[in-house]
Amino acid sequence: MTQKATETAEQQARILAHALPFLRRYAGATIVVKYGGHAMGEEDLAATFGSDIALLKQVGVNPVVVHGGGPQINAMLKRLDIKSNFIDGLRVTDEKMVEVVEMVLAGTVNKSVAGLINKAGALAVGICGKDGGLIRARKLQRTKKDPGSNIERVLDLGFVGEPESVDVRVIHALTGAGLIPVIAPVGVGADGQTYNINADTVAGAIAGALGAMRLLMLTDVPGVLDGDKKLIPEMTLETVRAGIESGMISGGMIPKVETCVEAVRAGAKGAVILDGRQPHACLLELFTEGGHGTIIRA
């Protein structure tokens, strides 16, 4: 064996020795991964993500993937010459649009994400929240206060929903058979109506219902940052609330941390906001000392 080959083998051995305690910690555990943002849009990152999820399954972890698809929906709506309106970051979804949303999320995007994992050697199955009654949804109710009159008015977002309940039997059936569920964030109402649901919200609800060891939220930021723009490695439910009240946590980070808090309150052991732009982000979070993002737990 050459000197270079010996050094490479020694480096691989050190990596394995370092990772072994973490592999034991997560053996048999359920990890829910919310996949979206740049990690989903860039080809190299997407291929790496598929390989990482396959690896998690191969080392004894039970990954469950929930994906978004906003850019893909936008592209299809543009192709069909259907205009989108947004209120507080949520797409107003009429009857025509919800058909397009379901077609893109539960069709093209869902099968593409499952395909990334299958290509890496694991067995992934693409489903949506309507399959097996996984996600019972209700219409999302939002109000907005008029700054002039201080009167609150109800916002009609159309067929935008939120999870009312999660029936995890279909997930257990898939993971018990050695398969990886890949879930599109589409739910069904009591009357059979299809609802478009925010992917972060679906991931949090599923993580809570499964009592997942971790919810990993892949985003386009490193995690929660303090006043000096430095990463906060760990937060409790109380410090999250204090961060929101002080203004340290603001803008688009608020709904993400609130999703994590709700997941933890519902039964998840911890929820992590981490940077999906970093290759192997999930592996760095789970199998290295100190993790990679901001973990929120009780």
**pLDDT at res. 104:** 95
> What crossing angle do the helices spanning 110-119 and 43-58 adopt, rounded to 10°?
60
The model's pTM: 0.90
| pLDDT tier at 267, thresholds 50, 70, 90 | very high
Residue with tokens 């004894």: 60
pLDDT of 84 above 60: yes
**pLDDT at res. 146:** 67
**pLDDT at res. 1:** 60
Average pLDDT over residues 249-265: 94
Average pLDDT over the chain, rounded to an integer: 90
pLDDT of 148 above 80: no
**pLDDT at res. 20:** 64
DSSP 148-200: TT--EEEE--BSEEEEEEE-THHHHHHHHTT-EEEEESEEE-TTS-EEEE-HH
**pLDDT at res. 150:** 67
Structural domains in the chain, CATH included, are 28-214+239-297 (3.40.1160.10)
pLDDT of 92 above 80: yes
**pLDDT at res. 202:** 98
**pLDDT at res. 85:** 80
Average pLDDT over residues 157-168: 94
Per-residue pLDDT of 2-19, as tens digits, reads: 766 565 656 656 655 666
In the sheet with 124-128, reading across from the earlier edge strand, the strands are 124-128, 180-184, 62-67, 30-35, 214-219, 271-275, 294-297, 234-236
90-127 residues labelled b (16+ CB within 10 A) or e (exposed): bbbbeeebbebbbebbbbbbbebbbebbbebebebbbb
Lowest average pLDDT, out of 125-129, 189-193, 208-212, 226-230, goes to 226-230
User: Quick one: tokens of 172?
Assistant: 């257990």
Per-residue pLDDT of 183-217, as tens digits, reads: 999 999 999 999 999 999 999 999 999 999 999 99
Q: What is the C-alpha to C-alpha distance for residues 273 and 280, in angstroms, rounded to an integer?
A: 14
**pLDDT at res. 135:** 98
pLDDT of 24 above 90: no
| pLDDT tier at 38, thresholds 50, 70, 90 | confident
